[in-house]
């Protein structure tokens, strides 16, 4: 990665002014700005610009942390973000409005932690927008001091926080503090100090490194038949291909996991039948107990059959509930793995879904055939 180019991602929920903040930082209208409450940014947008003598790449993100949007809805945007984030990032700007800090804002912090781990805060700076909402003579430091949740967040980020106003502070020459030009300069100085404190390393993880390796492989393929394409064009095309490949693989994993969970329950029903038969036999004291328990063991769930014999029908019902959860989880994991490998040969998302479904169905059918044959042999 080019160490002279600072890669900075902007995170926050929809409506806090992320895109406007990006434009304020680069000093140019490069990022789309929504005119409604809905996010105008539907996917990652990355722009490189020289600001205060330093090349920076700003990555604007969609509302990845919006509480009213499911991860399923954001799937393609998340994949696009991952390819833009690779191989790593020098800084995270976590954006909030100068406003009351509620549970929704706290949820953003929780999700950032979940997505990137606690380490992310070593590379993070809090940026507040709508600076005109500050009271006269009030600084952002005073604002956060009066709110424990905000104060705790800024402490996690090494005390790094700044404020801008995308609308009213553009041409303010009388009050240096309430000047975007001054605040942007201070913000970039803070980021430089943070990079130095982090020994010029960038935030990365195994996922981002893997995606970067995929992108480099695509670059090499494109370069061999690119004609007169520039390196920048090759890189962009490689990132698009990598995103597409990740979406195809993701489709296979998702389909496999869903169907795996479903077929896991189907197989579980057959096993529970064996367990219930064992319980009924135990209740009337017949020799069928041994046969039922053996059938259960043959299906790979001897413990369920034993529990049913010992505890009777009531215990069998409890075991069946636990077994449902177990089979669903195991089925989902197994289906996800099968779906991933099935999707490796797919060329489109639809083909990945079909291949994953077939792989999971075939795997489940082999288990069903086994339990059926054991039933007949009894």
CA-angle at 250, arms to 201 and 253, nearest 5°: 120
The percent of the chain in helix, strand and coil, each rounded to the nearest 5, is 60, 10, 30
- At 78-129, the pLDDT tens digits run 788 888 888 899 999 999 999 888 888 888 888 888 888 899 999 999 999 9
3-state secondary structure of 130: coil
Domain interval for residue 284: 240-377
Same domain, 59 and 163: yes
pTM, rounded to two decimals: 0.70
- At 195-220, the pLDDT tens digits run 999 999 999 988 888 889 989 999 99
**Length of the chain in terms of residues written:** 378
- At 50-74, the pLDDT tens digits run 998 889 999 998 777 776 666 666 7
Answer whether residue 259 is part of any domain.
Answer: yes
Beta strands 54-60 and 45-51: pairing type? antiparallel
Q: At which residue do the structure tokens 């693989």 appear?
A: 249
Residue 54 phi, psi (nearest 5): -130, 130
**pLDDT for position 268:** 42
Point out the domain boundary residue: 204, 227, 258: 204
Residue 361 phi, psi (nearest 5): -60, -45
Answer whether residue 56 is part of any domain.
Answer: yes
Q: Which of 369, 81, 372 is nearest to 239 (CA)?
A: 81
Answer whether residue 213 is part of any domain.
Answer: no
How far apart CA 114 and CA 13 sit, in angstroms, is 15
- pLDDT of residue 376 exceeding 60, the answer is no
**pLDDT for position 190:** 96
Count of domains observed in the chain: 2
The alpha carbons of the chain give a radius of gyration, in whole angstroms, of 28
Peptide bond into 258 cis (omega under 30): no
Same domain, 193 and 288: no
Structure tokens at 37: 């409450």
């Amino acid at each position: 990665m080019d160490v002279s180019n600072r890669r900075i991602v902007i995170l926050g929920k929809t409506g806090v002014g992320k895109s406007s903040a990006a434009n304020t930082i680069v000093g140019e209208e490069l990022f789309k700005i929504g005119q409604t409450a809905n996010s105008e940014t539907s996917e990652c947008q990355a722009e490189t610009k020289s600001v205060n003598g330093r090349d920076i790449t700003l990555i604007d993100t969609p509302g990845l942390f919006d509480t009213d949007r499911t991860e399923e809805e954001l799937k393609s945007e998340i994949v696009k973000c991952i390819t833009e984030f690779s191989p790593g990032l020098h800084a995270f700007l976590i954006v909030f409005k100068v406003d009351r800090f509620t549970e929704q804002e706290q949820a953003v912090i929780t999700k950032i932690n979940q997505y990137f781990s606690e380490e992310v805060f070593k590379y993070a700076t809090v940026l507040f927008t709508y600076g005109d909402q500050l009271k006269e003579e009030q600084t952002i430091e005073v604002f956060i001091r009066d709110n424990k949740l905000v104060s705790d967040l800024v402490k996690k980020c090494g005390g790094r926080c700044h404020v801008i106003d995308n609308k009213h502070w553009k041409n303010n020459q009388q009050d240096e503090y309430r000047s975007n030009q001054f605040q942007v300069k201070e913000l970039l100085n803070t980021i430089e100090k943070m990079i130095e404190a982090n020994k010029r390393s960038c935030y990365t993880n195994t996922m981002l490194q893997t995606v970067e390796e995929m992108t480099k492989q695509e670059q090499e393929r494109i370069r061999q038949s690119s004609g007169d394409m520039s390196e920048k064009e090759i890189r962009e095309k490689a990132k698009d291909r990598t995103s597409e490949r990740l979406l195809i693989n993701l489709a296979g994993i998702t389909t496999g996991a869903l169907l795996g969970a479903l077929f896991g329950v189907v197989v579980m029903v057959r096993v529970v039948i064996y367990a219930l038969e064992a319980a009924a036999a135990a209740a009337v004291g017949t020799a069928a107990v041994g046969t039922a328990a053996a059938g259960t063991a043959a299906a790979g769930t001897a413990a369920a059959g034993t529990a049913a014999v010992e505890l009777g029908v009531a215990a069998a019902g409890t075991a069946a509930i636990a077994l449902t959860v177990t089979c669903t989880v195991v089925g989902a994991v197994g289906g996800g793995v099968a779906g991933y490998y099935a999707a490796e040969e797919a060329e489109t998302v639809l083909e990945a879904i079909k291949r994953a479904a077939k792989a999971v169905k075939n795997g489940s059918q082999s288990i069903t055939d086994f339990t059926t044959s054991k039933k007949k042999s009894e």
